[in-house]
Structure 1
Amino acid sequence: MIALESLTRAEKLRMMEALWRDLSASAEGIVSPVWHGEALKQAEAAAASGNARLVDWVEAKDMLRQRART
């Protein structure tokens, strides 16, 4: 088994990309949890009503990182 700590960032990214390709090739067996659908409906309703605050991806990642720290 490979120790993740011994891999470089580039090697880890290549490994993640290979895993994603493999997993997404057979997505028909993957069932999303119920809360995914509920979250999408809430987001669509917020966008339709004009209550959604759109942010760029960099800001969104920063916001998620801050939430994860608390």
Structure 2
Amino acid sequence: MQNTIEITHLSRVEKLRIMEAIWDDLTHEEESLVSPDWHKQALQETEHRLATGQEQSVDWQKAKIELRKRFE
């Protein structure tokens, strides 16, 4: 049985909120997730950029607010 959800009538904000809810639900299944090898390397590169001042971190709550402002 296949479930189809019609999302074309939703606003961008509603779609983003649904995506966020789905992502939040998926993150509760961490133990069953397997990261690919390339992901570890990408994380190490990012950590290196942070350590050397080439990258700056952004508070996630603030980032979500800014992204919502851009796409509303």
TM range (shorter): 0.5 to 0.7
Provide the C-alpha distance between the structure 1 equivalents of 2:57 and 2:25, rounded to a whole number of angstroms.
30
* Greater percentage in helix: 1
| Consecutive unaligned residues in structure 2, runs of 5 or more | 64-72
Identity %, equivalent residues:
41
Q: Which has the higher contact order (CA 8 A, sep 6+)?
A: 2
Identify the range of structure 1 (7-16 vs 19-28) with the bigger mean alpha-carbon deviation. 7-16
Contact 1:43-1:52 at 8 Å conserved across structures = no
TM-score, structure 2 normalization: 0.54
TM-score, structure 1 normalization: 0.55
Aligned length, in residue pairs:
57
Provide the C-alpha distance between the structure 2 equivalents of 1:21 and 1:52, rounded to a whole number of angstroms.
29
Q: Does 1:52 align with 2:54?
A: yes
Provide the C-alpha distance between the structure 1 equivalents of 2:32 and 2:45, rounded to a whole number of angstroms.
25
Q: Does 1:34 align with 2:37?
A: yes
Cα-Cα RMSD: 2.6
Residues 1-70 of structure 1: matches in 2 within 5 Å?
Answer: 1-48=4-51, 50=52, 52-54=54-56
Q: Paired residue for 1:61?
A: none
| Consecutive unaligned residues in structure 1, runs of 5 or more | 58-70
